[in-house]
Copies of this chain bind each other. A is one copy, B any other.
Amino acid sequence: MIQSASDRRAELRREITAYARRLTATSGLQGFTVEDLCEHAGISRRTFFNYFPGKEQAVIGEYGDGVDPAAVDAFLDGRADGIKGISPNLLEDLLTLAAAHFAVIGLTPAEAGAFFAAAHREPKLVEQLMRRGEEHHHYMTMLVGTREGLVSEHPVAHMAVTLCDAIVQSGVRQFLSPDNTHTLPEIFQTRLDAAKQIFAAALPN
C-alpha cells in the first residue's frame, strides 16, 4: 500500500509521541531533550517544530488545533436546510466529529497506556491536558454556535458540547478497557441512545 504524505506525517507524529512518552515514563520530562526526539525520528530540530510546538506537546500528542478540517467542514454542512431551532441530529453530528478526531490521532489502548505511564511520572501533564480540553471546548462551542445560528457562548451551544464531551469521555474509557469489543462510533451511539431514553422520560409527551 502506498502511503500518502499526510499518512506518513501522522505516522511520524505518532512515533515521536510514543518515544517521548516512553522517555517521560522512565526519566521524566527533564530527562530528555527535543534533540533526543529528533535523533530517534531522524529529523532536524526545524522539522520537529513543524510537528509539535515543544517537548510536552509531543508527550501529550497534541498538534495544530487537533481537529481534522474535512470533518469540521462536514459538521458545519450537516444542518439540514429549512430546519427551525436546534438540529435534530446535532449530538449525532458532534459525536461523528469526535470519532473522526480519534481516528486521526489514532487512539489505541497501547497509546493511551503509554500516555498514562508518562502522566504518572509527570502529573502536571494531566493538568495540561485538562487545560487543552477547555480550549477545545470553547472552539467546539463556537463551531456549534456557527452551525446552529446561535449567538456566541449560547447556553444551548455550550450544553451540546458539554453533553457530547460527557458521552465521549465515558465512551473512550469503555473503548480503552481491556474487555472492549466495540468500535468508538458504536459505543457513542449506545450512550446517546441511553441519554435519549432518560430525556424521553423527562420531557412532556
Contacts and interface: CB of A to CB of B under 8 A. Distances in A.
Contacts of A74: none
Contacts of A91: 198, 202
Interface string A178-205: 0000000000001100111111111100
B202 A88 contact: yes
28 contacts: A85-B201, A86-B197, A86-B201, A88-B201, A92-B202, A120-B127, A123-B123, A123-B126, A126-B130, A155-B190, A155-B191, A156-B194, A156-B197, A156-B198, A158-B170, A158-B194, A159-B170, A159-B191, A159-B198, A162-B166, A162-B167, A162-B191, A163-B166, A163-B195, A163-B198, A166-B166, A199-B199, A199-B200
A85 B203 CA distance: 13
Interface in A108-124: 119-120, 123-124
Contacts of A195: 159, 163, 199
Contact of A203 (B123, B155, B196): B196
A167 B161 CA distance: 11
A36 to B, nearest CB: 23
Nearest to A120: B127
A87 interface: yes
Contacts of A160: 198
A29 B10 CA distance: 40
A152 interface: no
Main secondary structure of the interface of A (DSSP, over half): helix
A12 B184 CA distance: 47
A159 B24 CA distance: 35
A25 interface: no
Given A85-B201, A86-B202, 15 more contacts: A86-B198, A86-B201, A87-B201, A90-B198, A90-B201, A119-B127, A123-B123, A155-B191, A158-B194, A159-B194, A159-B195, A162-B166, A162-B191, A165-B166, A196-B203
A89 interface: yes
